[in-house]
Amino acid sequence: MIVRMTASEGTEPQAGFTDRDEGRPATESVGERLLGALLDRVHLIAPRLAGQLIAQEARIAGATDVSIHLQDLEQLTLRPLPGPGLVGDPLPIDDSVAGRAFSTEESVEEPLADGSVRLHLPLLDGSNRVGVLGFTLPRLTDYDRQLAQRLAGLVADMIVTNDSYTDAFTRVRTAGPLSLSAHMQWQLLPPLSMSTPVLDLSGSLEPAYEVGGDSFDYAFNEHVLHVAVFDAMGHGLEAATMATVIIAAYRNGRLADLPLTELYPAMDQAVATSFPGRFATAQLGRLDTETGILSWVNAGHPPALWVRGSRVMGELTGPVSRPVGFGAGTPIVQTAQLEPGDRVLFFTDGVVEERLPDGEQFGEERLRELIEQTTAADLTCAESVRRLSHALMAARSGRTSDDASLLLLEWKGPSRYDELDRDIPEATPTG
């Protein structure tokens, strides 16, 4: 029911919504009808029908052959949402037009023989890559491009929001059998990537369908990025259960704004109490995005790699604190001054300790070579991590006997503008 308030007597009627840039009354355009219809209806339908609703409304607006592809957990394939009104087959990310839109995070226009144009638009939830929206239009104008990009943004939000209410989208993304431990870890993860004008970040878990004790977490609060990488002792369900407690303790302490010197003991106590005699290695970090100062506690992890100008310039070395769960008390906090464009790669021991078919250890030197190759291509952190993860898997001939996690962050430099300024370059969508 709509309740309308009556204006006081003697007052002049005021204009409603207006276009302040042009000074004209607001009118409903094709774009407003399309986006408005989706916003009006999405909360009224069953969550599993969100994709079909998108296809239906896009067809009414003149689009044909609507497809919605979601990335699978391994980030190898784009898998289509099924249902009436939707088309599409599984597509490789590395060798398809839709995959190019996904990996570059920019729209791709594909001219067709009949003169029409097929658009492939990355689905970005915030800055996290969800998949690709595709459809065909008989012709293409700048207005169509703008509307298509806004439609893709709304579609991404609709998919992510409705994913909380149904298993339909997770089933599409899951290309193989998922172990119980892996299911627990994927449920705990934050979005795989985040990008802002001052920082870029992305992580990955391997093996995607069987991971047990590895995990990572992050949060960007005020001007501080909080990051953490964990490796719980053991494998399978037992390790995943411990990782769940560790992440809960980390988030609880982070929400309380505990400094690293207090956050580490709080996590240590949680593990020691819940899992006597067991432990987890960890890296806890905080990046001040105004100054570029990175502070961290290394609790038994391999040292992170420091990358500048596509070259590994060194490691974040120094005294190592005892693993979480061993009751070590106050940790050793270390700091480093990053320069704009610097990247830091955190990783678990499963990345470098895997044995190759000839019995030789994979080793850090190979990891250094691969990260230099992937960062030299001037890719986003999300695409760098995706390619690095697959390059690591290929170099190990598909062998993954232990969990292997990566978390890559880049400090772009302090913000030079009002973060809400509409005219700064970072406020303009790509593509």
CATH number at residue 87: 3.30.450.40
What residue type is assigned to position 64 of the chain? T
Closest CA to 385 of 227, 201, 212: 201
Q: What is the mean pLDDT of the chain?
A: 88
The reply to whether 38 and 150 lie within a common domain is yes
Q: Which of 96-110, 210-224, 289-303 has the lowest mean pLDDT?
A: 210-224
Determine the pLDDT at residue 199. Answer: 95
More confident residue, 356 or 35: 35
Residue 426 pLDDT class (50, 70, 90 cuts): low
Q: How far is CA 320 from the centre of its chain?
A: 29
Q: What is the pLDDT of residue 23?
A: 57
Among candidates 390, 362, 370, 351, which has minimal Cα distance to 312? 370
Whole-model pTM? 0.88
Residues in the chain: 431
Quick check: is 374 in a domain? yes
Give the model confidence (pLDDT) of 305-331 as tens digits: 999 988 999 999 888 999 999 876 789
Q: Is residue 320 part of a domain?
A: yes
Angle 97-104/381-395 helices, nearest 10 degrees? 120
Task: List pLDDT tens digits, range 35-71.
Answer: 999 999 999 999 999 999 999 999 999 999 999 999 9
Q: Give the type of residue at 310.
A: S
Q: Are residues 82 and 97 in the same domain?
A: yes
136 Cβ contact partners less than 8 Å away, ≥ 6 residues apart: 63, 64, 65, 112, 116, 117, 118, 119
Helix (H) or strand (E) holding 324: none
Contact residues for 94 (Cβ-Cβ < 8 A; gap 6+): 76, 103
Domain count, the chain: 2
pLDDT reported for residue 14: 57
Segment 391-395 shows an average pLDDT of 77
The band of 9, judged by pLDDT with boundaries at 50, 70 and 90, is: low
* Residue 249: predicted pLDDT: 96
Kindly tell me the number of DSSP H helices and DSSP E strands found in the chain.
11, 19
Q: What is the pLDDT of residue 421?
A: 72
Q: Is residue 7, in this structure, part of any structural domain at all?
A: no
Domain end marker among 171, 192, 210 = 171
Higher pLDDT, 8 or 404: 404
Domain-located, residue 21:
no
**Which residues sit opposite 297 in a β-bridge?**
284
Per-residue pLDDT, averaged over 401-411, amounts to 86
Is the pLDDT reported for residue 396 higher than 70?
no
User: Do 341 and 204 belong to one domain?
Assistant: yes
Are 334 and 256 in a shared domain? yes
Alpha helices in 80-202 (DSSP H): 97-104, 142-163, 168-173, 180-188
* Range of weakest confidence among 93-102, 265-274, 397-406: 397-406
The H-assigned helical ranges of 62-109 are: 97-104
Q: Cα(220)–Cα(44) distance, rounded to whole angstroms?
A: 33
The answer on pLDDT for 15 being more than 90 is no
Q: Where are the alpha helices (DSSP H) in 78-175?
A: 97-104, 142-163, 168-173
Residues near 348 by Cβ (< 8 Å), separated by ≥ 6?
A: 214, 229, 231, 281, 301, 302, 403, 404, 405
Please report the pLDDT score of residue 204 as a whole number.
92
- Of 22-26, 153-157, 211-215, the range with the highest mean pLDDT is 153-157
Task: Please tell me the predicted confidence (pLDDT) of residue 25.
Answer: 56
Whether residue 399 is found in the same domain as residue 340: yes
Residue 101 shares a structural domain with residue 223: no
Mean pLDDT of 256-267: 94
17-26, 165-174, 353-362: range with lowest mean pLDDT: 17-26
Please state, in angstroms and rounded to a whole number, the distance separating the CA atoms of residues 83 and 257.
46
Q: What pLDDT score was predicted for residue 160?
A: 95
The answer to the question of residue 418 being in a domain is no
Identify the CATH number of the domain in which residue 393 sits: 3.60.40.10
Look at residue 426 and tell me if it is in a domain. no
Least confident of 89-98, 146-155, 287-296, 347-356: 347-356
Same domain for 288 and 149, yes or no, is no
108-111 and 117-125 as β-strands: parallel, antiparallel, unpaired? antiparallel
In angstroms, rounded to a whole number, what is the distance separating the alpha carbons of residues 233 and 300?
12
Question: Would the pLDDT of 405 be above 70?
Answer: yes
Amino acid identity, position 282: A
- Examine residue 429 and say whether the peptide bond preceding it is cis (omega within 30 degrees of 0): no
Residue where a domain stops, chosen among 171, 203, 224? 171
Question: Rounded distance, CA 12 to CA 28, Å?
Answer: 25
- Are 242 and 378 found together in one domain? yes
34-45 residue pLDDT tens: 999 999 999 999
Residue of 164, 214, 219 lying closest to 184 (CA atoms): 214
Tokens (6 digits) for 418: 């009002």
What percent of the chain has pLDDT above 70? 88
* Whether the predicted pLDDT of 6 surpasses 60: no
What pLDDT is attached to residue 310? 86
Do residues 261 and 331 lie in contact, with contact meaning Cβ atoms separated by under 8 Å? Answer: yes
Q: Identify whether residues 251 and 150 lie together within a single domain.
A: no
pLDDT-derived band at 303 (thresholds 50, 70, 90) equals: very high
pLDDT of residue 360: 73
Q: What are phi and psi of 359, to 5 degrees?
A: 90, -10
d(CA 57, CA 86): 12
Range of the structural domain that residue 76 is part of: 30-171
Q: What is the mean pLDDT of residues 328-344?
A: 92
Domain endpoint, select from 113, 142, 171? 171
Tokens coding 225: 């990025």
E runs forming strands in 52-170: 64-71, 77-80, 91-92, 108-111, 117-125, 128-137
Q: Is residue 283 in a domain?
A: yes
What integer is the mean pLDDT of 254-272?
94
Higher pLDDT, 360 or 177: 177
DSSP structure class, residue 213: S
Is the domain of 305 the same as that of 403? yes
Asked whether residue 256 is assigned to any structural domain, the reply reads yes
Residue 268 sits in the same domain as residue 382? yes
Same domain, 270 and 391: yes
By percentage, how much of the chain surpasses pLDDT 90? 62
Ordered alpha helix ranges (H), 316-406: 349-353, 364-375, 381-395
Q: Please give the residue that has the higher pLDDT: either 224 or 398.
A: 224
Q: Return d(Cα 51, Cα 61) in angstroms, integer.
A: 16
Give the pLDDT confidence of 82-141 residue by residue, as tens digits. 999 999 999 999 999 999 999 999 999 999 999 999 999 999 998 899 999 999 999 999
